[in-house]
Amino acid sequence: MSELKPCPFCGSEARILKGHHYWAVCPECAARGSAYGERGNAIKAWNTRTPQWVSVEDGLPEEGLCVLGFEPHCLLNRDKGVGVIVADYDITEIRKATGKPWITHWMPLPEPPKEEL
């Protein structure tokens, strides 16, 4: 397998970067795959569409895209800190108490089940 599929989050063309390891990235929405020692493993992981958390400092989801957001101080679930948000909600809104964003990371929702109910 040598060809990268488009970004599963925004549909843009992804590319492989190489440093000490290989990883796939999307230059449009800042989605990135995990780092691997071999190029083929980075491509395989990207093409399997496993969502990864993206820091809001690295990029924001496209407007209107439903995403899973991580809020460290979520009042509804303090021990887990995970809540579902919609990207057109201002995920960069700053908490007055801490001066930091409410949502620190996001990832696209997974594909729905393919079985019929």
pTM value > 0.75:
no
pLDDT along the chain (117 residues), means of 10: 77 90 88 85 83 77 73 62 55 64 76 70
pLDDT on residue 1? 40
With contact defined as beta carbons under 8 Å apart, do 54 and 32 qualify? yes
Q: Which of 74, 77, 68 is nearest to 110 (CA)?
A: 68
pLDDT on residue 31? 83
Domain map (residue ranges) of the chain: 1-50, 53-110
pLDDT on residue 105? 82
Q: How far apart are CA 45 and CA 50, in angstroms?
A: 7
Q: H or E stretch including 45?
A: helix 39-47
State the CB neighbour count (10 A cutoff) for residue 59.
19
pLDDT on residue 114? 77
With contact defined as beta carbons under 8 Å apart, do 26 and 9 qualify? yes
